[in-house]
Amino acid sequence: MSGYGPPDRFNEERATFTVRGSDTPDLDAGIAAIRNVLATLPSRSGVYRMHDAKGDVLYVGKARSLKQRVANYTQVKGLTKRLQRMIAQTRSMTIVTTNNEAEALLLEAQLIKRYRPAYNVLLRDDKSFPFILLRGDHDFPRVQKHRGARRAPGNYYGPFASAGSVNNTLNALQKLFLLRSCTDGFFKTRDRPCLLYQIKRCSAPCVGRVGKDEYQELVDDCRDFLAGKSTKVQAKLGAQMQAAAENMDFELAALIRDRLKALTFVQGSQAINAEGVGDADVFALACRDGTMGIQAFFIRGGQNWGHRSFFPQHTNEVPEDEVLASFLTQFYEEVPPPKTILLDRDLTEGALLGEALGERAGYKVALSVPQRGDRRRLMDQAKRNAIEALERRLAESTTQARLLREVADLFDLPEPPDRIEVYDNSHIQGTNALGAMVVAGPEGFRKGQYRKFNIKGNEAATDSDVGMMREVFRRRFARQLDEAPDRDDGTWPDLVLIDGGKPQLHAAKAVLEDLGIEDVCMVGVAKGPHHGRDGREVFHMLDGREFQLPVNAPVLFYLQRLRDEVHRFAIGAHRDKRSKAIGASPLDEVPGIGPARKKALLMHFGTGRAVRNASLEDLKKAPGVSAGVAQQVYDFYHAR
């Protein structure tokens, strides 16, 4: 299998077997459901999904022999408590057969990412990693940061551990090779060099300061550098500087000298010595008190492209090598693997994982545990980093847990909150009004669950903060009632913080009461008598109580951090909305008017207001506008 697509490609061999039973966990009912499936299972490789009574996916697993693997779940005495809980909730299974076990392993990772089951080890931080793209569709290729699907033609270099790692490398590339970073549209319209040329970060090919062949030489040097041939590039630059000095071209010699300094700085700034390693990803796992952390180093061409810590979820009662194997299959579901993957331990299914990754990538991928030399020293460093990152994580978790207990005590919650929602509005005299919600929990901010609400003015005038808050709460909780009325999916808040005083709090309370919701703890956070300059926010409770906290109280700093985050998110979203509105035209609202006709009307009349005030006869005279379109535009503005 050269690649793997959506699970639907296996539909012809999929079957679902269901045993009806109670919605409550019942071990006997779960075993009965599994045995019903087992009776007709083939002895082929494939993937199975276990579902609860609602049809939600509990677990995704793969097997060389489906019949043999699923049969193990009926022998519950030898299983862990975790697996027994899973079986007790199981009411149906979905079976997908594959051509071989490697195919099953790749499909398993894809389905885990899609369904995020409660009993699978999950890679929580699964955002796409940044790459550097050296475009290949232009006479003067552009170097740029890239995320997402790799569809554009060119050379991709990565993954990098973070956007910061990419930005640092791009800055070095600009200083070293003077390649352009501007868009093609910007490139075509230039008639003089931009600022990057002035500060010696671009060779200005847009205005002919460098020829095509000379620029291509810079591109080739850049490719060599990114491929790890920095010594070759350094020797070439050194020879060029020497030749320029001998020719008395001291200005050119100084320019090359600055480029050499940039190269030396990059070589010296490698925090990890990866010389001689080539292309490799390095992974080390640390475990303490049931929490696991994985440290990853990304090495390309012997250069360190950053390191990153991961903390997989659902790892209780799961063996360490199984956690690492599951992590790797999910990690490489999006990221292309290098030819060498270095691990701190042998994996039971290491050979199978290497085969599956190689089958998908189209080249051989080897997993190995380094024993000596540079690779061993690099692995030791990765282990130290994994332990240190895990210790920091545990210390932060302990502090976070203490803060959440204080929040529970402060607001009379029965237990520390698992989900805190914070709300704020942003607008300028009622224009571009927008509501924002951020979410926090024991692990920190959950940015993937942030929401913004474009205010439609249904509840009150859009220049009223109270009216905006009322509309936001009605839309948010009406939808919540529709999607999760049983409140068992983890999306209902344990605590709601509202940026505002009594009016906003009472408006939100009235909305929830109208919806029949009376058990959500809500607190208003208002500026104090000195407008918050003294750090003494006033907290308003639903029962009418008001209080302030000592200025040095850690729980106050935590609540201020939540409030500041919703401010940041609301203001940023409002700024984006306002920027789009500035570039909008009244003609955008006219149905049937595309970019070409809009441009023709604006070029003819000058402004959108002039188009709106134009007579039907004047509209017909505009170039490129037919009588039918003119009538459509006229009717839009006048037939109301």
Residues β-bridged to residue 156? 133
CB-based contacts of 616, cutoff 8 Å, min separation 6: 630, 631, 634
Tell me the CB-side half-sphere exposure of residue 212, using CA atoms within 13 A: 2
What pLDDT, on the 0 to 100 scale, is given for residue 453? Answer: 87
Contact 297, 281 (CB under 8 A): yes
For the cut 70, the answer to whether the pLDDT of residue 579 exceeds it is no
Spatial distance between the Cα atoms of 11 and 229, rounded to a whole number of angstroms:
47
Apex 478 CA angle, 476 and 480, nearest 5: 70
Q: Give tens-digit pLDDT for 100-120.
A: 999 999 999 999 988 989 899
What pLDDT, on the 0 to 100 scale, is given for residue 168? Answer: 78
Is CATH 3.40.50.1360 correct for 586-638? no
Q: Give tens-digit pLDDT for 51-97.
A: 998 889 999 999 999 999 999 999 888 888 889 999 999 999 999 99
What pLDDT, on the 0 to 100 scale, is given for residue 537? Answer: 85
Higher pLDDT, 269 or 213: 213
Contact 91, 19 (CB under 8 A): yes
Mean pLDDT of 546-560: 89
Mean pLDDT of 189-217: 89
For the domain made up of 420-581, give the CATH fold: Nucleotidyltransferase; domain 5 (3.30.420)
Higher pLDDT, 248 or 230: 248
Tokens of 18: 């269901």
The domains spanning 280-391 and 420-581 adopt the same CATH topology: yes
pLDDT band at 239; cut points 50, 70, 90: confident
Q: Give tens-digit pLDDT for 361-384.
A: 889 999 999 998 888 988 998 999
What pLDDT, on the 0 to 100 scale, is given for residue 327? Answer: 93
Contact 527, 536 (CB under 8 A): no
Higher pLDDT, 224 or 391: 391
Share of the chain above pLDDT 70, in %: 86
30 class by beta-carbon count within 10 Å (0-12 exposed, 13-18 middle, 19+ buried): buried
What pLDDT, on the 0 to 100 scale, is given for residue 524? Answer: 93
What pLDDT, on the 0 to 100 scale, is given for residue 255? Answer: 74
CA-based nearest residue to 312, from 113, 466, 155: 113
For the cut 50, the answer to whether the pLDDT of residue 146 exceeds it is yes
For the cut 60, the answer to whether the pLDDT of residue 271 exceeds it is no
Residue type, 269: S
Q: Please name the CATH architecture into which domain 280-391 falls.
A: 2-Layer Sandwich (3.30)
Tokens of 510: 């009235």
Mean pLDDT of 470-488: 85
What pLDDT, on the 0 to 100 scale, is given for residue 461? Answer: 47
pLDDT band at 491; cut points 50, 70, 90: confident
Q: What is the 3-state secondary structure (H, E, C) of 446-464?
A: CHHHCEEEECCCCCCCCCC
Beta strand residue intervals within 455-534, DSSP E? 495-499, 521-526
pLDDT band at 462; cut points 50, 70, 90: very low
DSSP, collapsed to helix, strand or coil, labels residue 417 as coil
Least-confidence region, from 201-210, 348-357, 557-566, 601-610 = 601-610
Least-confidence region, from 165-174, 389-398, 458-467 = 458-467
Higher pLDDT, 414 or 228: 414
Does 159 sit behind a cis peptide bond, omega within 30 degrees of 0 on the bond before it?
Answer: yes
Mean pLDDT over each residue of the chain, to the nearest integer: 82
What pLDDT, on the 0 to 100 scale, is given for residue 406? Answer: 92
Work out the angle between the directed axes of helices 465-483 and 502-514 (0-180°, nearest 10): 30
Higher pLDDT, 291 or 342: 342
Spatial distance between the Cα atoms of 85 and 36, rounded to a whole number of angstroms:
19
Q: Give tens-digit pLDDT for 595-625.
A: 777 777 777 777 777 777 788 888 887 887 7
DSSP, collapsed to helix, strand or coil, labels residue 388 as helix
Determine phi and psi for 138, rounding to 5 degrees: -150, 150
Least-confidence region, from 63-77, 156-170, 325-339 = 156-170
For the cut 50, the answer to whether the pLDDT of residue 385 exceeds it is yes
Q: Give tens-digit pLDDT for 292-329.
A: 999 999 888 777 787 888 999 888 888 999 999 999 99
H/E run at residue 92: strand 92-97
pLDDT band at 637; cut points 50, 70, 90: confident
Q: Give tens-digit pLDDT for 402-437.
A: 899 999 989 988 889 999 999 988 765 555 678 889
User: Domain limits of the chain?
Assistant: 7-115, 131-268, 280-391, 420-581, 586-638
Spatial distance between the Cα atoms of 592 and 595, rounded to a whole number of angstroms:
10
What pLDDT, on the 0 to 100 scale, is given for residue 550? Answer: 87
What pLDDT, on the 0 to 100 scale, is given for residue 289? Answer: 79
For the cut 90, the answer to whether the pLDDT of residue 183 exceeds it is no
pTM of the model: 0.67
Spatial distance between the Cα atoms of 463 and 190, rounded to a whole number of angstroms:
43
What pLDDT, on the 0 to 100 scale, is given for residue 173? Answer: 80
Residue with tokens 């907290």: 539
pLDDT band at 159; cut points 50, 70, 90: confident
Tokens of 6: 């959506």
562 class by beta-carbon count within 10 Å (0-12 exposed, 13-18 middle, 19+ buried): buried
CATH of domain 7-115: 3.40.1440.10
What pLDDT, on the 0 to 100 scale, is given for residue 276? Answer: 66
Contact 93, 40 (CB under 8 A): no
Work out the angle between the directed axes of helices 250-268 and 230-246 (0-180°, nearest 10): 160
Most confident of 211-225, 271-285, 518-532: 211-225
Apex 150 CA angle, 179 and 225, nearest 5: 35
